[in-house]
Chains A and B, each alone.
Chain A
Amino acid sequence: MFNWVSQIFAVTSFSMRSLPQRKGSSAAAMLGIAGVVAVMVGVLSIAQGVLKTMESSVGDSNAIVLRSGADSEMMSGLSGDDTRIIAEAPGIARDANGAVASPELFVIVNLPARSTGTDVNVPLRGVQAPAMTVRDSFKLVEGRMFEWGLNEVIVGVGAHQQFSGLEIGSSMEVGKEKWPVVGVFEAGGGMAESEIWVDAAVLQPAFRRGNSYQAVYIKLDSNESFDEFKDTLTSDPRLNVKPMLESEYYDSQSSVIFNMITGLGRIIAVIMGLGAVFGALNTMYTAVSSRNREIATLRALGFRAGPVVISVVCESLLLAFVGGLIGAGLAWLAFDGYRAATLNWASFSAITFAFDVNVKLLVDGIVFAMIIGLLGGLFPAIRAARQPVAQALRGL
């Protein structure tokens, strides 16, 4: 065992020390792998960013009530009477103004994206006063709150950055009217930051919605209250609704886009990764070929084939690891925090998010690089080890 380990250490050490002699091909393989990892981490960070936005939307002990059968607010519809009955259900938190239940109206308006100038579906939400209480992280960061009863709007920071015409002091066109932008708000990085908010009582007539809403956002006493709350609503013959915890709701909202981007990212990574494997194979075949004399001599002196295999694989893994680190680092520098907007396939409206290059993605990227390195090193290593010693010496 001692012998085996010392052989591995010795052969691997020669391999590493002779790396500078092969710096050209080694650098090419490393950079190829770095490119693959940077693209993979970059694409997957979009999905992570969207997921993070969705997760940030989830409030503690929050629930949402939609019409039964609706999968999103767009497909839902609740009457004013429904929302009053819902607000009377047990389990809802209460404050000085009564139940913390926010009936909300959700419509879509077209606004040009800053980056492309093309029209994007932007969510416009009609709210009542409890909307700010339900969303604990709501905070006005610029300008002022809109006046209740007036057609003024406030915009989320994401919408403010991504769409044109939402600067404070400017006005957005809704039908034939102009609605002034008076403030910018944050909502803890959640989906609300992609939205424009207005008084629900102003939005209803503007979009001819009568006294109807699409969802009621609820703050519960606690998560434990949800079952009682849900049972009460689903057993009430006057209602035909679907209560959900916000965590469940945003899970379902994010799954389509998350899976789509993640799937796409992985396909791209695998295709590029195949190219990188060939690059690594080429590099390692060249490395083994240039070390033929060393390898054959070591084996002639009595070193065994196993340590030779391990040394070649170690070299390939080292190159891949460094390449992976460079790629992950580049992705982090280039993409982390970069804000963009994409279509939320559940609501067909834009969602703004920040690319999220997190530790898990960086680790995934480096692991992927190591897999490329392993595949790229293994076959040349086996070839080096299988070559008969006498034949290898003759071939010098």
Chain B
Amino acid sequence: MTEFLMNHMMVKVRGVDKIFKRGSEVIHVLGGLDLSIPKGEFLALMGPSGSGKSTLLNLIGGLDRPSEGTLEIGGKRIDRLSERKLAAWRARHVGLVFQFYNLMPVLSAQKNVELPLLLTKLSRAERKKRAAIALDIVGLSHRAGHYPRQLSGGEQQRTGIARAIVTDPTLLLCDEPTGDLDRKSGDEILDLLQALNKEQGKTIIMVTHDIHAAARASRTLYLNKGQLSTEAVD
């Protein structure tokens, strides 16, 4: 890889191991994994269940720590940050999109989107304004006052994406974002992610089981038994 590309890497994963212990059993989920993702890339991660896709996504998003190896995101080593600093870093740099949306049922779409902004010093008016812009980007301005139970699955996921982009993060991590949606809604979500990638330059990593979803990404990697490859392994 050229020096130019290396300097423009959003994600650098080097020699990452991840071991889980379940009683006396030791499970090696990732073994000596290396991965580089340039800024502005839309990467799809595929692989069978238990292959470590979500674990890798969690490590890149600072939700978990590697057993070995280093993680550099946007030029910052995050594998040695304290829990507190990691939480602050996540709030500022990472947008998370979950398979089951994970919206707060007691909050309206607008308030759900405002949630990450509570961790900033923005005024209430500014928070409201930014949440409205994020909802506008995902095409949900007209549903801002609705609660999650009043929204369809696709609308809930779009609210989840608005929440993920409201802080203008450098990295968007999506864990099976279409996994709970029908084809039509799933396509709309993928359109939205593609637009965020192409028009706003967001770096996106998407874990998916769906080959059609992966086809929307600019690159697809396959994870099997803790190892990455560019081709699916049967």
Number of residues in A with C-beta < 8 Å to the partner?
A: 27
Binds A, one of B30-38, B83-91, B135-143, B214-222: B83-91
Q: Is A301 at the interface (CB under 8 A from chain B)?
A: yes
A329 → chain B closest CB, angstroms: 29
Q: Is A304 at the interface (CB under 8 A from chain B)?
A: yes
A14 with B104: CB separation less than 8 A: yes
Contact of B106 among A2, A6, A14, A393 (CB under 8 A): A14
Q: Is B229 at the interface (CB under 8 A from chain A)?
A: no
Bitwise interface map of B from 101 to 140 toward A, beta carbon under 8 Å scored 1, else 0:
0101111000000011011010000000000000000000
Residue of A nearest to B163 (CB): A301
Q: Is A133 at the interface (CB under 8 A from chain B)?
A: no
**Bound: A104/B219 CA distance, A:** 106
Q: Is B168 at the interface (CB under 8 A from chain A)?
A: no
Q: Is B58 at the interface (CB under 8 A from chain A)?
A: yes
Contact of A302 among B54, B64, B119 (CB under 8 A): B119
Residues of the B chain whose Cβ atoms lie less than 8 Å from the Cβ of A21: 105
Q: Is B63 at the interface (CB under 8 A from chain A)?
A: yes
Q: Is B96 at the interface (CB under 8 A from chain A)?
A: yes
Residues of the A chain whose Cβ atoms lie less than 8 Å from the Cβ of B102: 293, 296-297, 300, 396
**Bound: A124/B89 CA distance, A:** 82
B118 with A10: CB separation less than 8 A: yes
Known: A394-B54, A396-B100. 18 other contacts (CB 8 A): A2-B121, A6-B118, A6-B119, A10-B118, A293-B100, A296-B102, A298-B115, A299-B87, A300-B63, A300-B96, A302-B87, A302-B116, A302-B119, A303-B119, A388-B64, A390-B55, A390-B58, A390-B64
Bitwise interface map of A from 240 to 275 toward B, beta carbon under 8 Å scored 1, else 0:
000000000000000000000000000000000000
Q: Is the interface of A mostly helix, strand, loop or mixed?
A: helix
Residues of the A chain whose Cβ atoms lie less than 8 Å from the Cβ of B105: 18, 21
**Bound: A304/B87 CA distance, A:** 7
Residue of A nearest to B96 (CB): A300
Residues of the A chain whose Cβ atoms lie less than 8 Å from the Cβ of B116: 301-302
Chain B 48-101 residues near chain A, CB threshold 8 A: 54-55, 58, 61, 63-64, 83-84, 87-88, 90-92, 96, 98, 100
Bitwise interface map of A from 384 to 396 toward B, beta carbon under 8 Å scored 1, else 0:
0000111001101
Give the A-binding residues of B (Cβ under 8 A): 54-55, 58, 61, 63-64, 83-84, 87-88, 90-92, 96, 98, 100, 102, 104-107, 115-116, 118-119, 121, 163
Given A300-B63, A388-B64, A390-B64, residue A305 in contact with residue B83 (CB < 8 A)? yes
**Candidate in A21, A303, A388, A390 with the most chain B CB atoms within 10 angstroms:** A390
B121 with A3: CB separation less than 8 A: yes
Residues of the A chain whose Cβ atoms lie less than 8 Å from the Cβ of B84: 304
Q: Is the interface of B mostly helix, strand, loop or mixed?
A: helix
Residues of the B chain whose Cβ atoms lie less than 8 Å from the Cβ of A18: 105-106
Residues of the B chain whose Cβ atoms lie less than 8 Å from the Cβ of A301: 90-91, 96, 115-116, 119, 163
**Bound: A86/B96 CA distance, A:** 91
A302 with B121: CB separation less than 8 A: no
Q: Is A311 at the interface (CB under 8 A from chain B)?
A: no
Residue of B nearest to A17 (CB): B106
**Candidate in B55, B83, B106 with the most chain A CB atoms within 10 angstroms:** B106
A-B contact pairs, 5 of them (CB 8 A): A14-B104, A297-B98, A301-B115, A393-B63, A393-B98
**Bound: A296/B96 CA distance, A:** 12
Residues of the B chain whose Cβ atoms lie less than 8 Å from the Cβ of A297: 98, 102, 104
Chain A 178-232 residues near chain B, CB threshold 8 A: none
Q: Is A294 at the interface (CB under 8 A from chain B)?
A: yes
**Bound: A194/B122 CA distance, A:** 70
A122 → chain B closest CB, angstroms: 63
**Candidate in A297, A299, A304 with the most chain B CB atoms within 10 angstroms:** A297
**Bound: A2/B120 CA distance, A:** 9
Residues of the B chain whose Cβ atoms lie less than 8 Å from the Cβ of A298: 115
**Bound: A300/B163 CA distance, A:** 12
A382 → chain B closest CB, angstroms: 15
Chain A 268-301 residues near chain B, CB threshold 8 A: 293-294, 296-301
Q: Is A7 at the interface (CB under 8 A from chain B)?
A: yes
Residue of B nearest to A391 (CB): B64
**Bound: A389/B57 CA distance, A:** 13
B223 → chain A closest CB, angstroms: 16
B107 with A7: CB separation less than 8 A: no
Chain A 123-177 residues near chain B, CB threshold 8 A: none
Residue of A nearest to B88 (CB): A302
Chain A 1-45 residues near chain B, CB threshold 8 A: 2-3, 6-7, 10, 14, 17-18, 21
The 4 closest A-B pairs by CB, nearest first: A302-B91, A390-B64, A297-B102, A17-B106
